[in-house]
Structure 1
Amino acid sequence: MRSLRFALVAASLIAGFANASPADPKNGAEYTTLSSPQPVQATGKKVEVIEFFAYHCPACNAMEPTLNAWVKKQGDNIVLRRIHLPFQGANDPEAHLFLTLEAMGKLEEYHGKVFRAVHVERQRLMKDDAIIDWAVKSGLDRAKFLEAWNSFGVQTKLRRLQAVAEAYKASSTPTIVIDGKYVVSPATVAQANKIQGMNEALSATTQVMDALVAKAAKTK
């Protein structure tokens, strides 16, 4: 599992970033810029923010309340998109669940419930059968869930996920992409600022995200 690796903040791996600051992030330190920026879906003055995440990722679970609070604070400045990284390949069951909930219009209601099932209730939602069983026990209609699960739209999006992740250079979670070009993660921010605590890293990451949203907004 390639989730956030806070071991990377060890002193031997963070030398050279002593002048970094979350409020004044440096390209190549706290964030990187894609050599091939990707098209954005946000319109007008809004800045697109994408979170690459995975339901089994402990750091994604830890970041969820921080990210939700940050999104609320940003208000109309941004549009948030979530993309589940397909760690298990083209048929990744967790990504399949995410896309199915999205297609059913149930994502807002069930997104947090999936995190709770995995990280609090310790349920193993890593296989199709286990996920379908959980969905039904959690109140979703089995027929409607399977209809969305097997739909052409969901299947097509699922097959495209790996190519999408590669285009954004997203290989670990959580990874945030702002305006289709600025890539940041708690791991890189922790490295750059010699932060070892998760809460501190998440807080610093939102500061970097603030700065990058402001930077992107200037070009709108």
Structure 2
Amino acid sequence: MNRRDFSAQLIVAGLGAAGASLTSPAQAQGSPVEGKHYVRLSQPLPTPAGGKIEVIEFFWYGCPHCNAFEPTLDAWLKKLPADVAFRRVPVAFRDEPYTTHQRIFYALEALGKVEAMHRKVFYAIHSDRQRLDKAPDIAAFMAKNGIDAPKFLEVFNSFSVQTKARQANQLAAAYKIDGVPAIGVQGRYFTSGSLAGTNEAAISVADFLIQRVRKGG
């Protein structure tokens, strides 16, 4: 078993245990510590032009901790300052069902349906116990939620969506993401619940890193 597959299983499991603590290490020790609560990339990554600070959530629809993180993340996103640009990047630690779930996200994005459907996909998988890893099941789910199923599958199977999924894998590899949910900041740093102590603490660390980037760090 390669490092990424092994780490994905251990770290995702560890996030649940970390979330049980009442006080995170990052909170208990004051300012977050590099190498402990967050990681600085040895080679900074290019970020989109436009002057905004890029923040990325790396996630997988099948991850229960990503599902549990959504309400906290949504509340945080409503308070992000105007100079921060947020986006989601689905990751694939192996082929299936990771790659299928990546394509679900990018098809929804292409159709302008992420806001309407993102939480519904999580709910279907984690509450309704739908796997959503086969095209007929995905089509039926989309149709049930008012999306033209043939159109969705056309986009889902498109070259552009497959290209975006490959680019997502390249970005996650460049950030050295080996567990989700994780937060990348401006191509320079990343944090996660396993690093910060809890997923809520990871939000606080991300705020710290945004401030650091804003000050030129």
CA displacement at 1:135 relative to structure 2: 1.6
CA displacement at 1:219 relative to structure 2: 1.7
**Matched-pair contact (CA < 8 Å) for 1:4–1:173:** yes
CA displacement at 1:164 relative to structure 2: 2.1
Quick one: distance in 2 between partners of 1:47 and 1:151? 30
Question: For residue 215 of structure 1, what is the aligned residue in structure 2?
Answer: 212
Question: For residue 36 of structure 1, what is the aligned residue in structure 2?
Answer: 43
CA displacement at 1:20 relative to structure 2: 7.5
CA displacement at 1:47 relative to structure 2: 1.3
CA separation of 1:130/1:88 partners in 2, compared to 1, >3 Å: closer, same or farther?
farther
**Matched-pair contact (CA < 8 Å) for 1:6–1:187:** yes
Q: Secondary structure at the match of 1:177?
A: strand
Question: For residue 76 of structure 1, what is the aligned residue in structure 2?
Answer: 82
Q: Secondary structure at the match of 1:92?
A: helix
Question: For residue 110 of structure 1, what is the aligned residue in structure 2?
Answer: 117
Q: Which amino acid aligns with 2:76?
A: W
Quick one: distance in 1 between partners of 2:213 and 2:78? 18
Quick one: distance in 2 between partners of 1:64 and 1:21? 24
Give the 4+ runs in structure 1 shifted more than 3 A: 7-10, 17-23
CA displacement at 1:21 relative to structure 2: 4.7
Of 119, 124, 138, the residue aligned with 2:126 is 119
Of 131, 134, 138, the residue aligned with 1:131 is 138
Structure 2 residue 3 is the aligned partner of structure 1 residue 6: no
Percent identical across equivalent pairs? 40
Question: For residue 202 of structure 1, what is the aligned residue in structure 2?
Answer: 199
Quick one: distance in 1 between partners of 2:177 and 2:88? 13
CA separation of 1:73/1:129 partners in 2, compared to 1, >3 Å: closer, same or farther?
same
Quick one: distance in 2 between partners of 1:49 and 1:28? 19
Aligned length: 203
Question: For residue 68 of structure 2, what is the aligned residue in structure 1?
Answer: 62
Of 156, 159, 167, the residue aligned with 1:160 is 167
**Matched-pair contact (CA < 8 Å) for 2:125–2:132:** yes
CA separation of 1:207/1:148 partners in 2, compared to 1, >3 Å: closer, same or farther?
same
How large is the RMSD of aligned CA atoms in angstroms?
2.5
Q: Which amino acid aligns with 1:69?
A: A
Quick one: distance in 1 between partners of 2:90 and 2:133? 13
Question: For residue 4 of structure 2, what is the aligned residue in structure 1?
Answer: none
Quick one: distance in 1 between partners of 2:140 and 2:119? 17
Of 54, 72, 88, the residue aligned with 2:94 is 88
Q: Which amino acid aligns with 1:166?
A: A
**Matched-pair contact (CA < 8 Å) for 2:38–2:192:** yes
Quick one: distance in 2 between partners of 1:19 and 1:102? 34
Question: For residue 197 of structure 1, what is the aligned residue in structure 2?
Answer: none
Q: Which amino acid aligns with 1:173?
A: V
**Matched-pair contact (CA < 8 Å) for 1:54–1:60:** yes
Q: Which amino acid aligns with 1:202?
A: N
